[in-house]
Amino acid sequence: MNADKLRVAIADDERPARSFLASILRTFEDVEIVGEAANGMDAVALIESARPDLALLDLQMPEVDGLGVIRLLKTNRMPLVAFVTAYDEYAVPAFEVNAVDYVLKPVEAARLRKTIDRARERLGREDYRAEETQNLRAAASEYESAGGRSPLLRIPVRRRDEIILVSVQNLVSIIADGELLHLHTTNNEAHTISYRLRDLESRLDPARFVRLGRGALVNVEMIRRILPMPGGTFNVVLNNDQELRVSRLQSRLLREQLLRL
Amino acid sequence: MTTDTAAPLVNLLGFITGLVLYAMLLWMALTSGRELNRLILLTGFLGFAWNAGALAAYGLTNLGIAWSTPLLLAGAFGALCFLPSAVVHSALAASEKVSRRENLAIWIPAYAMSSIAAAMHVYAALTSGEVPSQFALRGVTVGFAVLIFALLIVTRGQENRGRILWVVAMSVFAVSALHLSEHQGSDPWWMQLAGHHASLPLALLILYQDFRFALADIFLKRALAFILLAGLTFGVFAFGMSPLLQSTPMNEQSTALMLAMWVATALTYPSLRRGAAWFVDKVVLKRVDYAEVVVKLSRDIDKCASPRSVLEETARILAPAVSASSIEWLESTTAGGDLRVEPDRRSARVAIPTGYPHYVLHIRDLTGGRRLLSDDLALLERAALIVARRIDAVRSMQERYRHELQEQEMRKLAAEAELRALRAQINPHFLFNALTTIGYLIQSAPERALGTLLKLSGLLRGLLKSSGEFVTLGEELDIIEAYLDIERERFEDRLRVRIEVPVELRRIRIPALVIQPLVENAIKHGISESRAGGEVRLSAHLDENMAVITVADTGAGMAVVQDRGRSRGMGLSNVEERLRRYGASKPLTIESVAGTGTTVVIRVPLQPADALAQSASVRSR
């Protein structure tokens, strides 16, 4: 292992694209490919185990996509990231604004060279991980609020060293707790993810998930009872016997949207 | 009453008619507005004098009123003797080629002769009381007979139709004078008619030539009806009643018979009058029937499709009806001003009361001495209204047509734009991924790279092809197969494809690009979202007059299927909308189960020709 070489990990679900990218990287003498992942979950494992300097992540991958990978990565394992995408009208502006690098497919050697050089330069800085994490989170947040990502079907959740996928159909409630979100499922499991409620809400089907207040999002199908409270607000009792207070504003919306024939 | 009384009856009627005609001529000459025509005035005066005098002398005697004096009679005959001179003078004035010398050579002797004859009548009245003077009348006859020849010679070679009339009028005078000189009182009635009333044709002639339409309007129709009635009455009495009454003495029966005759005569008057009016309009004036003109006008312009042709047709129909030498139409910037007649009543401007732009008909130079009279104006006003209504109708029709055309054009444009947009909607994501795949293949399998490249260009050509809205199912499948081949290179064994479309269905025509978006959706949401991938299955069958096409995938599936809105994606709502426009009521259904895949079914109405072909092939089976 040559210490001068830049260690790069690649993640793309399409083998030809992955191979094409790898073949270009191999022409660079100062680059070492530490591993290739065929999906997002493998990518997280690969990055955390191989600890590359730079991860080239395909933006579109099944189940856990490029942005999902960086959500799941532990902060102290965060590499420099360059996304690879064929075309995405929402992602590119979000990346540019937040100084996140990206490469367009079909990948051009010269363009990829710049990414490598840029990564090398940034690696010299002490706080590059924290900076990169911040940039990536900001870009992801901006991208999601622009509506660029497809509706979420499964929410990837880290549990120690494994990642499990929680189907949104099985979600009962999502409760915000500072930087974290607690996901409650039908089989009475609770998962915690690091995500903003607002960002998650924008990726869920609005017909299925409703806000109860600043810190709670529930699955409409899972509401068992709605209890009127003094002062005109409601409390909601869910299928898992959770009882949640509904804010004054949301009580009004609830009354108009759900409690009317 | 006997046949002997027939002659006095004729005389009475004749003199009254003459009196009326000449009174009218006088009145017309005095009020015609233009410079006073002295000859006509003179003629009118002379004719009036003769008829008044003769009526007093001959007509009224038979009714038992006898107050004629020789001097009065002399005056009447004097006037009669001057009439030919006036006629000669008029004839000379009307002809164009006569030199001044010839002119003087004829009319001076004429007036001299008339003066001498008149003087002789007066002299006879004063001396012997024997009026008229036989000698004077004979002299006048001979003299004017000579003058007729002179007149004929002078006016020879002229096209003037009136010339013959003048000569005839003169001849009648000659006969008349001869007759009056020969006879006293006991001639048969027809002789009396020809002799005593030679002045009538003259009056009619002048009125016909110079005041034709006034004559017709004011007098001729009524006079003719009256004359016809008189003739009928006379005929009945002379040939029916008189013999009857002569054979049987007066009794109640004959009185009743006579009364019945009178009543019958009175009853025939309206139809006589109508007949007279018709005769005058058709034969004398050659005037067309205005009701017919209006009917013809409205019928003919109903076929015209532009204001221009309406106006041209109107001018074509109206010009002969009012004897105008020309009718022009032009656009006018000002509205209203309906009908303006020039002072000479020979031309007029008729405004067509239509919306902007307005039109005006210029009626120019009426021929045949015709003037625009009240019924002409009524006709023109009515015609203007009809034309305006038609023009407005034509305009609104054109407007509607233009609108429809525009709408059609816009609909067509919209459909085209939509299709163009759809075609331009080559998913860039797909395109760049395909290029990436080709990039990979160039390194690892150059031959497959070339194949994929050719498929991609074929696909692009198919998508961009600007031929019509419809393609055959086969053509659409070619595009889809090329598309799937490329995607297969990209997803490798994650994508499996099964296409099950019977060969005979490949001929049916479907709207372009209604299946391709479904396949693209299946790849995008089904295959690429699934780690394991899946199968895309395309099948088609017929259901009555619908082609039912199913695109199913065994990919990721969609958690939520909303009937409307975003989850269907752009492609699907566009497909659904287009199919609905071709007459499918529920053209698209989606079934999707998360984890097991999505099935989309579209129902495409068969095009009429296809439906026919299909039903034929079913029958032949």
More confident residue, B165 or A11: A11
pLDDT of residue A144: 81
Residue A168 shares a structural domain with residue A130? no
Distance CA B595, CA B559 (A): 8
Which of B435, B489, B553, B560 is best to mutate for the A interface (most A CBs within 10 A)? Answer: B560
Number of Cα atoms under 13 Å in the Cβ half of residue B88: 33
Neighbours of B314 (CB within 10 A): 26
A33 domain-assigned: yes
Instruction: Mark which of A104, A119, A145 sits at the end of a domain.
Output: A145
More confident residue, B11 or A125: A125
Condensed to tens digits (0 to 9), the pLDDT of residues B55-101 reads: 877 766 666 665 667 778 788 888 888 877 877 777 777 666 667 77
pLDDT of residue A31: 95
Residue A190 shares a structural domain with residue A112? no
- Alpha helix positions (H), A91-181: 91-97, 109-123, 128-145
Condensed to tens digits (0 to 9), the pLDDT of residues B523-547 reads: 988 898 888 899 999 999 998 888 9
Residue A108 shares a structural domain with residue A233? no
A158 domain-assigned: yes
Q: Do B528 and A62 touch (CB under 8 A)?
A: yes
Which chain B positions have a beta carbon within 8 Å of A165's beta carbon? none
A213 domain-assigned: yes
Residue A73 above 70 pLDDT?
yes
Condensed to tens digits (0 to 9), the pLDDT of residues B298-310 reads: 888 888 888 888 8
Those residues with Cβ within 8 angstroms of residue A20's Cβ, 6 or more apart along the chain or in another chain: A106, A107, B436, B437, B439, B440, B443
Angstroms from B491 CA to nearest CA on chain A: 6
Condensed to tens digits (0 to 9), the pLDDT of residues B169-216 reads: 665 665 566 666 555 555 666 666 666 676 777 777 766 666 665 665
Residue A22 shares a structural domain with residue A130? yes
Which of A13, A59, A88 is best to mutate for the B interface (most B CBs within 10 A)? Answer: A13
A176 domain-assigned: yes
Arithmetic mean of pLDDT, A104-114: 94
pLDDT of residue B285: 66
Q: Which domain holds residue A181?
A: 154-258
More confident residue, A235 or B617: A235
DSSP characters over B94-138: H-SS--HHHHHHHHHHHHHHHHHHHHHHHHHHHHT---S-HHHHH
Instruction: Mark which of A87, A111, A145 sits at the end of a domain.
Output: A145
pLDDT of residue B31: 67
**Closest residue, chain B, to A21 (C-alpha):** B440
Those residues with Cβ within 8 angstroms of residue A56's Cβ, 6 or more apart along the chain or in another chain: A8, A9, A10, A11, A21, A25, A82, A83, A84, A103, A115
Q: Do A14 and B556 touch (CB under 8 A)?
A: no
Condensed to tens digits (0 to 9), the pLDDT of residues A239-260 reads: 888 899 999 888 888 888 777 7
Which of A21, A105, A149, A155 is best to mutate for the B interface (most B CBs within 10 A)? Answer: A105
More confident residue, A89 or B499: B499
Residue B592 above 60 pLDDT?
yes
Tell me which of A234-238, B53-57, B248-252 is least confident.
B248-252
Residue B564: pLDDT band by 50, 70, 90 thresholds? very low
pLDDT of residue B537: 95
Residue A194 shares a structural domain with residue A109? no
What is the rounded end-to-end Cα distance, in angstroms, of chain B? Answer: 105
Which of the listed ranges B248-262, B421-435, B480-494 does the model predict with the highest average pLDDT?
B480-494
pLDDT of residue B304: 84
Looking at the structure of chain A, the number of domains it has is 2
Share of chain A above pLDDT 90, in %: 43
Q: Do A106 and B562 touch (CB under 8 A)?
A: no
Condensed to tens digits (0 to 9), the pLDDT of residues A200-231 reads: 888 888 888 888 888 899 998 899 988 888 88
Residue A27: pLDDT band by 50, 70, 90 thresholds? very high
Arithmetic mean of pLDDT, A29-51: 94
A53 domain-assigned: yes
CATH of the domain at A236: 2.40.50.1020
CATH of the domain at A60: 3.40.50.2300
Q: How many CB pairs under 8 A join A and B?
A: 87
Those residues with Cβ within 8 angstroms of residue B528's Cβ, 6 or more apart along the chain or in another chain: A13, A60, A62, B491, B555
Q: Do A13 and B556 touch (CB under 8 A)?
A: no
pLDDT of residue B4: 58
* Residue A54 contacts residue A25 (beta carbons within 8 Å): no
Residue A16 above 70 pLDDT?
yes
Residue A94 shares a structural domain with residue A171? no
Which chain B positions have a beta carbon within 8 Å of A109's beta carbon? none
- Mean pLDDT score across all residues of chain B: 78
Condensed to tens digits (0 to 9), the pLDDT of residues B450-474 reads: 999 999 998 888 877 756 678 899 9
A1 domain-assigned: no
Residue A213 shares a structural domain with residue A161? yes
Residue A159 shares a structural domain with residue A141? no
Residue B1: pLDDT band by 50, 70, 90 thresholds? very low
pLDDT of residue B150: 77
Residue A113 above 90 pLDDT?
yes
Residue B326: pLDDT band by 50, 70, 90 thresholds? confident
Condensed to tens digits (0 to 9), the pLDDT of residues A142-190 reads: 888 776 676 777 888 888 778 888 888 889 999 999 888 999 999 888 9
Instruction: Mark which of A109, A126, A145 sits at the end of a domain.
Output: A145
Angstroms from A109 CA to nearest CA on chain B: 12
Residue B262 above 90 pLDDT?
no
Q: Do B560 and A205 touch (CB under 8 A)?
A: yes
pLDDT of residue B559: 53
Residue A112: pLDDT band by 50, 70, 90 thresholds? very high
Number of Cα atoms under 13 Å in the Cβ half of residue B202: 37
Q: Which of B432, B441, B528 is facing A87, going by the closest CB pair?
A: B432
- Mean pLDDT score across all residues of chain A: 88
pLDDT of residue B563: 41
Residue A130 shares a structural domain with residue A231? no
Residue A137 shares a structural domain with residue A161? no
pLDDT of residue B217: 61
Residue A40 shares a structural domain with residue A129? yes
Residue B550: pLDDT band by 50, 70, 90 thresholds? very high
Angstroms from B587 CA to nearest CA on chain A: 25
pLDDT of residue A194: 84
A236 domain-assigned: yes
Residue A14 shares a structural domain with residue A109? yes
Residue B164 above 60 pLDDT?
no
For chain B, the residues whose C-beta falls within 8 A of a C-beta of chain A are: 428-433, 435-441, 443-444, 489-492, 525, 528-531, 556, 558-560, 562, 567, 594
More confident residue, B329 or B568: B329
Q: Do A62 and B531 touch (CB under 8 A)?
A: yes
- CA nearest A50: which of A100, A102, A10, A84? A10
